[in-house]
Structures are given as structure tokens and as C-alpha cells.
Structure 1
Amino acid sequence: MTRTTRAARIAAAAVLPAELALVACVAAGVRLPGAVLTAAEAVVSAVLLLEACALHRLYAAARAAGEGRGAALRTAVRAVVPVQVRRLLRHELRAGASLGRWVLRRKHGVRPGDLAAGYTAPQTAMMYGMVFVSVVETFALALLIPWPAVHRAVLVLDVYGIVLLLGLHASCVTRPHVVGADGSLRIRYGALFDLAVPPDAVASVRVDRRYPEGRLVTLSEDGVLDLAVGSQTTVTLELNRPLTFVRPLGARAAARTIRFHADDPRALVTTLRRPA
């Protein structure tokens, strides 16, 4: 990785959150000093110029290596934009699209003959509770904050948070686990986690309720992956070979046993055991 590419990656990771915060303030009507706006514009312009130079060099190198235009552009973007930033942006875009699917009652990636296995029951009440608290907080702050500019900024952030919560839940509802007609299994959590398990990789599957501690995705030293929803899993899947999965922020790891949650684990296990 060249110095230009490394600098572009650092700049993208550092400047993007600051730029989003600045845009939120401006959209909320906050009057920023002219010097702040000028400095911000100068920094953003410098970063964009740096990104453009790095992208052009990488794109030209990929084209010279024989890649097509689309492939060369993807190669350049992957090299310049950190994977964590790409994953977060992709998640937010998919969460927004999931809101539309949720309203239209459509599922993503479910074909005729497939079993769609939901997994949102343990978190639904919590999600709606968080949305309710956020709405109450928004109205309360509207009454308590006497400064209009601060109130508008907080309002923008609160509305964004509410939409993000609804989008996260919608992505989980519209992206269920899928047992394919061919015996394959797709284990998902919204737009954050997606693992395809081919039929020949399944050694055994059983209903097995557990209550693991920790984050959404945890991997033990012996290769046991827990994908918990509401701090619980209901299905244990044993594999006959390790499968590589991608964590929510892009890191890769391998698992030999996968424990995940399904609202109706018996239906999922029965369907998965059925010969294709």
C-alpha cells in the first residue's frame, strides 16, 4: 500500500464522521462561524483531492492489469475506503431499503419453495420500546431546550436515530434465515450478518436453547460461533468443515459450530433435515 493510499484511507475514516456532523448542524439551522465553514470546506476539498488522486492511480493500475472499468473502479474503492466505512454505509443503505420492503411486506432473498425463518421475536419489544423512548425524548427536549439552534440540531439527531432503529428492525424482519429447497441454509441478522451454508457442509442440526453472554457475534477459541438475538440462541448447527464468515465491520473468521436464534426452531430444523 502506497503512502497516498494509506493517507486517503485515514482521511476517509476521519473526515467522513466530522463532515456528517457538520451537515447535520447546517441542516438543523445552526449558524456556524464563517471561519469554521471555510476551514471545513478547505479540509473536505483537500481530502476529496487526495481521494481522487489515489483513486485515479489505483484505477489506472487496475486497468493496466487488464481489469474492466467496473472491476477496476471497485478495486480502487476497496483500496482507498476502509472496509469499516464501506460496511457501515452499506448497512445504512440496506436498512433504508428494508423500510420499503417492510411496508410492502416483502422478504429479501426468499424464493418459491424456500422456508423463511424469522428471528426477531426476542428483540421486537425492546426495539419498539427504544423507539418509544426516543420519541418521548424528542418531545421532552423540545420543551426543555430553550435555544432554537440547539433544539433543531438535537431534533435532527433524534429523528435520524429513530429512523436508524426502525431500519435495523426492518432489515431483520425482511431478511430472515432461509432454508433453501436444495437443503442450503442462509443465516442472517439484518444487513449486518449473512452466512451461506451449503448442504454438504451440514453435519447435524438440532434445537438447542442457550443464553450466551456477549455481543451479537461472538466466536470462541474452539470455533463456536454464537449469533444471539435478545441474548439467546435456539438452534445449534454442527459443520463438517470450517466455514468463513464476515463480521459486521468486515473482519473475517472461521467457525465449525454455529448457534443462532430462530423464532420457530423446530420448523427450521425439520426442514433442514428433510432430504433435498
Structure 2
Amino acid sequence: MRLGFVQGTLRRLAAHELRMFTSFGLWIARRRHQVRSADRPFGYASPQAATVYGLAFVCVVETVGVSFMVRDWPAVHAVLLVLDLYTVLLVLGTQAVAVTRPHVLTPDTLRLRRGVQVDLAIPLAHITSVREELRFGDGKATPEEVLDLAVGSQTSLTVELAAPVTHVQLLGKRRQVTTVRFHADRAGELAKALRAAVAAGPGSPEDWGHP
């Protein structure tokens, strides 16, 4: 049983990295993952962009410096060069997946994503309220029923649900959530569009807005 768990974990991690690297192609082509013509995408990558690019620059500088220091040991140089370049790709990959996998508002679903780690579909019929609420991470643990999808340590929207939805974590663990906090670069626009979409649907609440 333990061997099966390890194998399953390795498969999930390998699939995670594969999705990350395939996002580079979408990024270069300026395309987005699974966004149809009738859907409305909303990005969330802005708060982390400066950090990602800054870290990538530091990694490049470190790669050049280390390559210079070990130039007299070809085998060591080759191994470290591969590891350093792989690290640079992983760092840039966090931005690539965030840009190419935005949140998506469809006629019946709010699809919230955070890179390739989170992909949560919330039926609009489950949503009871949406709040524009800028929050910064304080290091405190969130309740089990609250999903916090912070980007750059911040969230800007909160949605409350009448019925729980299942969040599947990277390694397969599942939990039921009834409140989701997340960030959107155009938070006000998404909040307005989301309220309108829920109000237009069947069974929408009469008193829409802040609870």
C-alpha cells in the first residue's frame, strides 16, 4: 500500500511538471488553456510577476557565476549547469502557468485556478455571495472549509457557497470547502460579472451582494 502511495505521488508530481513545461508553448503563442470563445478569462498573475522575474534573474546570475568557478571541472560544470538551467525553467514556469491558466467564468460555472496546482469548478448555482475583499496573508491557519488561493500573499475576492465543493490538492487529498478566497487582477470587473451571471441564472438569490 505504501509503495502504491509513493508511485501515485510520483505520477502526480511528474504530471504537474509536464503541465508546467507545456505551458511555455501556450505562453509563447499567447494562448490560454481551455478558454472557449464564450468564456470570460480573468488573470491573476500580476502580484507575483516582479518576484518571479527577479528570482529568475538571480538564478541566471548564479548560474553564470558557478559556471565560472567550476570551469576547470567539466563533469561538475555540466551537472551544475543542467541543474541551474532546470531551476530557471521552474521559476519561469510558475509565471507561465499562471498567465496561461486564468480564472474562467462560463455561463454556469466559475473555474478558479492557481497555476497547475489548483483547478476548482464552482457551479454558479452554489454561490450565495461575492465580496471584493483585499486580504494579505498573516501566517494563520485557515479553517478546513475555507480555501485560500493567495497570489503574492494576497486575495481580493471572497465567494460564499450554499453547498460545498470538493477541492483536490496536488497530491490527491480531498476536502470540502464552502468559502473560497482568491485573487483576480481585475477584481471589480470579475465581481460585477459574477454577480450578474448568478442573478441571471435559475434560483439566484433575491438579495445579492454582501451577506
Please classify the TM superposition score into its range, dividing by the shorter chain length: 0.7 to 0.9
CA positional deviation for 1:199:
1.3
Segments of 5+ residues of structure 1 without an aligned counterpart are 1-5, 14-80
Aligned: 1:100 with 2:25: yes
CA distance in 1, matches of 2:159, 2:3: 41
Residues 55-106 of structure 1: CA deviation (Å, up to 9, x unaligned) = xxxxxxxxxxxxxxxxxxxxxxxxxx32x22221111111111000000000
Q: Distance in 2 between matches of 1:252 and 1:242?
A: 12
Q: Identify if the C-alpha distance between structure 1 residues 115 and 214 changes in structure 2 by more than 3 Å, giving closer, same or farther.
A: farther
Corresponding residue of 2:179: 257
Structure 2, unpaired ranges of 5+: 202-211
Q: CA deviation at 1:7?
A: 6.3
| Structure 1 partner of 2:158 | 236
Counterpart for residue 72 of structure 1: none
2:130 matches 1:208: no
Higher RCO by CA contacts (8 Å cutoff, separation 6 or greater): 2
Q: How does 1:33-48 map to 2 (within 5 A)?
A: none
Cα 1:8–1:257 change in 2 (3 A) is closer
Task: Tell me the amino acid that sits aligned with residue 131 of structure 2.
Answer: R
Match of 2:169 in 1: 247
| Counterpart AA for 1:156 | V
Residue equivalent to 1:60: none
Q: Structure 1's 251 and 268: CA in aligned 2 closer, same or farther, altered over 3 A?
A: same
Shift of the alpha carbon at 1:123? 0.3
**Match in the other structure for 1:141:** 66
Please tell me the residue identity of whatever aligns with 1:106. R
Instruction: Please give the alpha-carbon distance, in whole angstroms, between the structure 1 residues aligned to 2:41 and 2:186.
Output: 10
Which residue does the alignment assign to 1:166? 92
Q: Which position in structure 2 is the counterpart of 1:91?
A: 16
Which whole-Å CA distance do the structure 1 matches of 2:114 and 2:2 have between them?
33
Aligned to 1:178: 104
More helix, by proportion: 1
CA shift at 1:219, angstroms? 4.2
Amino acid at match of 1:86: R
- Report the counterpart of residue 190 of structure 1 in structure 2: 115
Aligned partners of 2:40, 2:77: CA distance in 1, in Å? 47
Q: Deviations over 1:131-162 (max 9, x none)?
A: 10110000000111242211111101011111
Q: State whether residues 207 and 234 of structure 1, in contact with CA within 8 Å, keep that contact through their aligned partners in structure 2.
A: yes
Q: Give the TM-score taking structure 1 as reference length.
A: 0.68
Deviation at 1:168, TM superposition (A): 2.2
CA RMSD across the alignment: 1.7
Find the counterpart in structure 2 of residue 155 from structure 1: 81
Amino acid at match of 2:23: S
Question: Do the aligned residues in 2 keep the contact of 1:225 with 1:257 (CA within 8 Å)?
Answer: yes
2:143 pairs with one of 199, 217, 220: 220
Q: Post-superposition, which runs of at least 4 consecutive aligned residues in structure 1 deviate over 6 A?
A: none
Contact 1:212 1:226 in 2 (8 A): no
Percent identity at matched positions? 46
Larger Rg: 1
Answer whether contact 1:115 1:268 (CA < 8 A) is retained.
Answer: no
> What CA deviation, in whole Å up to 9, does each residue of 1:107-128 have, x standing for no partner?
1121112211100011001110
Question: 1:201, 1:240 → 2: CA distance?
Answer: 5
In structure 1, how many angstroms separate the alpha carbons of the residues matched to 2:182 and 2:23? Answer: 22
1:9 to 4, 29, 39: 4
Compute the TM-score of the two structures, normalised by the length of structure 2.
0.88
Deviation at 1:213, TM superposition (A): 3.4
